[in-house]
């Protein structure tokens, strides 16, 4: 049963490990009832019951996942996380059985009319990604993915008498003193170097087990399976390859000019890898207060942005659905997930005192706002769209909140905006490099770690020709990718950020021209959740597809013009 979380807070959300045997029996009983329904109304009622069961199960999974990542040292939730690693493949088997019956439903025509065709598209593609024969392999994949997360979360980096994790050391990686930046970067990468054999071994096992899963399911290699897992209904690997080429030809030259401007701002003879994240000689813009102050500024911002965002952010605060501050033992990174029983998004991040705190807050709030906006859409499969569409909500929210950045950055607001927009441009080549790397790796599953590293270095030089590792052999050999969690935990996700970034640039442009229309398009996009495919959602929001010839170039000129009109040397 759904419970809108208005009278409780996240710490009081009930968690109980699902009895999977009992759940499985009840689920199979419901499947039989669905198959033998005597009317369309009865079949639809059973569909909703099955959906409610799935919501209950995913609620327990997400509460466990959140509490485990908040403190990876918590023994109770570590064991619960291990339990779900074991049970999720079997759960996927139950969902697959439901999808199979759905596609063969006696009253399919009536169900499509009531619930929409997208549910059946999801079912059709999902059936290609699972078979009972691969349950053991999926369990192994989950275990290896969790192993990587735990390795990164275990990082204790001693730097100048202080103990840091991967998030907290970042403030020294952007220090104005070059020797400090270099030392901090080498300290962080020293952790990865120390753990490199272990991490590369985990990845080697992941590549091989994913390849075995793909072959068992009838695919040539994991690339094809990954596209099916990601629910890519209306585009394929060839379209993605052509899009990457657009980024190479249209964006890489702009990014290189921006790196040259940065080199001049910093007064350096050569930009090294440990210089890239310091944007200005005067220091990067930083929020002018502590985390509680940041949240108060965000409260004011979302109150003024729209009635919808005001209600949303009040709900997030009152229900304590944000864990923002970096702590020892906390998993790295940031994310947003959805706790279905309570109709509650949850935002997780690791504030570290840099402008990234504002980026991650507005980004994850974009995800959360979309989930909140579509929470009553009716089916759990429709709460969120596929990931590349999800990232449109988050990346566009970063730009819709620009008018309120002065509340966070005060006199450094213009510096922040320049850094934010130029950084978004510079991200695109890295994003497509990660994607091309994954294609190459999974098309060559027998590669050695050394061959993978060589491929990364080659791809990196193609999209990031400015990258200079200053003789640091570990990175010169091609191991920068070891830090990128998505490669291990959510393969082939990363291109989604870049596709969404191109769409978000369009919202940035539209918002400057006509805020009311841009916000109306954005709100409409958020409310329909995942009831349509990526390219259908792009069209719904009056955006141009990034895959269109010239789709990337269409927003480049406006961005270049804005950046060229900024006197960045004055910051």
Q: Are 265 and 281 in contact (CB under 8 A)?
A: yes
CB atoms inside a 10 Å sphere around CB 88: 18
Q: How far apart are CA 187 and CA 335, in angstroms?
A: 26
Query: Which helix (H) or strand (E) is 437 found in, with range?
Result: helix 413-443
**pLDDT-based confidence at 332, cuts 50/70/90?**
confident
pLDDT tops 70 at residue 2: no
Query: How many Å from the N-terminal Cα to the C-terminal Cα in the chain?
Result: 54
Report the pLDDT averaged over residues 323-349.
94
Q: What phi and psi values does residue 323 have, to the nearest 5 degrees?
A: -120, 100
3-class state of residue 332 by DSSP: coil
Q: What is the mean pLDDT of the chain?
A: 96
Q: Over range 149-170, report the average pLDDT.
A: 92
Of the chain, the percentage scoring pLDDT greater than 90 comes to 94
pLDDT score for 169: 94
- How far apart are the C-alpha atoms of 58 and 301, rounded to whole Å? 32
Q: How far is CA 419 from CA 95, 180, 359, 365, in A?
A: 44, 21, 11, 20
> Which pair of tokens denotes residue 39?
């009317």
pLDDT at 279 over 80: yes
Strand-pair partners of 351: 325
pLDDT of 566 reads 96
Q: Which two tokens stand for residue 180?
A: 């400090």
Distance CA 228, CA 224 (A): 7
Other Cβ atoms closer than 10 A to 294: 19
When pLDDT is averaged across residues 239-264 and rounded to a whole number, the result is 97
Instruction: Delimit the domains of the chain by residue range.
Output: 10-120
Residue 185, pLDDT > 90, answer yes
**For residue 506, which phi and psi values (nearest 5 degrees)?**
-65, -40
Report the pLDDT value the prediction gives residue 435, as an integer from 0 to 100.
98
The predicted model gives 182-195 an average pLDDT of: 97
Percent of the chain whose pLDDT exceeds 70: 99
SS3 217: coil
C-alpha separations of 479 from 200, 428, 460, 493 in Å: 9, 19, 11, 19
Pairing relation of β-strands 344-351 and 322-325?
parallel
Q: Which of the two residues, 325 and 167, has the higher pLDDT score?
A: 325
Tokens describing residue 287: 């929020």
**pLDDT tens digits along 507-544:** 999 999 999 999 999 999 999 999 999 999 999 999 99
Beta strands in 352-487, from DSSP E residues, in sequence order:
none
pLDDT at 3: 54
Please classify residue 510 by burial: count the beta carbons closer than 10 Å to its beta carbon, then call 0-12 exposed, 13-18 middle and 19+ buried: buried
Residue with tokens 């491929």: 455
* Overall average pLDDT of the 373-387 stretch: 96
**Across residues 348-358, what is the average pLDDT?**
93
Confidence of residue 352 (pLDDT cuts 50, 70, 90): confident
Residue 453 has pLDDT above 70, yes or no: yes
DSSP state for residue 492 in the 8-state scheme: T
In the 8-state DSSP scheme, what is residue 10? G
**Per residue in 216-231, pLDDT tens?**
999 999 999 999 999 9
Nearest CA-CA partner of 417 in 427, 429, 430, 406? 406
Predicted confidence at residue 4, as pLDDT, reads 54
DSSP string of 96-143, one letter each residue: HHHHHHHHT-TTHHHHHHHH-THHHHHHHHHGGG--GGGHHHHHHHHH
pLDDT of residue 140: 96
C-alpha angle with apex 490: 291 to 542, nearest 5 degrees? Answer: 75
Q: Round to whole Å and give the CA distance between 125 and 103.
A: 11
- How many Å apart are CA 386 and CA 374, to the nearest integer? 14
In whole angstroms, give the CA distance from residue 197 to residue 151: 12
Q: How is 140-207 classified by DSSP, letter by letter?
A: HHHHHHHHHHHHHHT--EEETTEEE-TTTTHHHHT-SSHHHHHHHHHHHHHHHHHHHHHHHHHHHHHH
pLDDT at res. 555 = 87
Sign of the C-alpha dihedral computed for residues 470, 416, 527 and 1 taken in this order: positive
What are the angstrom distances between the C-alpha of 329 and each of 13, 72, 80? 22, 6, 17
CA distance 222 to 245: 22
Mean pLDDT on 272-282 = 96
d(CA 343, CA 362): 20
**Confidence (pLDDT) at 114:** 97
pLDDT, average across residues 383-395: 96
């Amino acid at each position: 049963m759904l419970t809108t979380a208005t009278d409780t807070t996240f710490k009081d959300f009930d968690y109980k490990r699902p009895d999977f045997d009992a759940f499985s029996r009840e689920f199979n009983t419901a499947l039989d009832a669905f198959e033998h329904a005597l009317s369309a109304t009865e079949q639809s009622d059973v569909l909703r019951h099955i959906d409610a069961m799935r919501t209950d199960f995913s609620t327990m999974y997400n509460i466990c996942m959140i509490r485990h990542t908040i403190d990876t040292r918590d023994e109770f939730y570590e064991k619960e996380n291990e339990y779900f690693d074991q049970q999720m493949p079997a759960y996927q088997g139950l969902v697959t059985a439901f999808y199979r019956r759905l596609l063969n439903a006696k009253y399919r025509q009536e169900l499509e009319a009531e619930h929409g065709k997208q549910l059946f598209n999801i079912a059709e593609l999902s059936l290609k990604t699972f078979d009972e024969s691969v349950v053991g392999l999926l369990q192994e994949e989950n275990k290896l993915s969790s192993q990587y997360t735990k390795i990164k979360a275990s990082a204790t980096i001693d730097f100048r008498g202080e103990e840091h994790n991967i998030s907290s050391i970042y403030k020294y990686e952007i220090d104005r003193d070059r020797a400090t930046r270099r030392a901090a970067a080498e300290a962080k990468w020293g952790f990865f170097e120390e753990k490199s054999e272990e991490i590369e071994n985990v990845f080697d096992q992941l590549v091989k087990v994913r390849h075995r899963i793909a072959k068992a399911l009838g695919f040539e290699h994991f690339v094809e399976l990954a596209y099916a897992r990601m629910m890519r209904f209306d585009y394929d690997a060839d379209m993605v390859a052509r899009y990457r080429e657009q980024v190479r030809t249209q964006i890489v030259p702009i990014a290189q000019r921006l790196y040259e401007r940065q080199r001049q701002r910093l007064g350096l003879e050569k930009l090294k890898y440990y210089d890239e994240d310091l944007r200005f000689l005067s220091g990067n813009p930083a929020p002018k207060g502590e985390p509680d102050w940041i949240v108060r500024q965000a409260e004011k911002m979302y109150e003024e942005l729209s009635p919808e965002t005001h209600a949303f952010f009040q709900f997030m605060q009152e229900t304590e659905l944000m864990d923002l501050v970096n702590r020892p033992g906390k998993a790295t990174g940031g994310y947003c997930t959805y706790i279905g029983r309570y109709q509650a998004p949850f935002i997780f991040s690791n504030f570290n005192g840099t402008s990234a705190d504002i980026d991650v807050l507005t980004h994850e709030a974009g995800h959360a706002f979309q989930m909140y906006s579509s929470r009553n859409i009716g089916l759990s499969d429709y709460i969120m769209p596929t990931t590349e569409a999800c990232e449109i909500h988050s990346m566009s929210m970063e730009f819709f909140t620009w008018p309120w950045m002065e509340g966070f950055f005060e006199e450094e607001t213009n510096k922040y905006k320049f850094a934010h927009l130029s950084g978004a441009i510079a991200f695109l080549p890295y994003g497509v490099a990660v994607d091309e790397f994954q294609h190459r790796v999974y098309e060559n599953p027998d590669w050695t770690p050394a061959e993978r590293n060589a491929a990364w270095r080659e791809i990196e030089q193609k999209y990031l020709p400015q990258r200079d590792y200053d003789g640091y052999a570990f990175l010169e050999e091609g191991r920068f990718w070891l830090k990128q969690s998505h490669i291990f935990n959510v393969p082939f996700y990363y291109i989604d950020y870049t596709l969404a970034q191109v769409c978000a640039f369009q919202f940035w442009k539209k918002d400057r021209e006509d805020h009311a229309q841009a916000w109306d398009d954005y709100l409409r996009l958020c409310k329909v959740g995942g009831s349509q495919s990526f390219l259908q959602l792009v069209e719904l929001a009056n955006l141009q597809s990034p895959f269109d010839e010239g789709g990337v170039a269409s927003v480049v000129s406006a961005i270049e013009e804005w950046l060229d009109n900024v006197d960045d040397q004055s910051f």
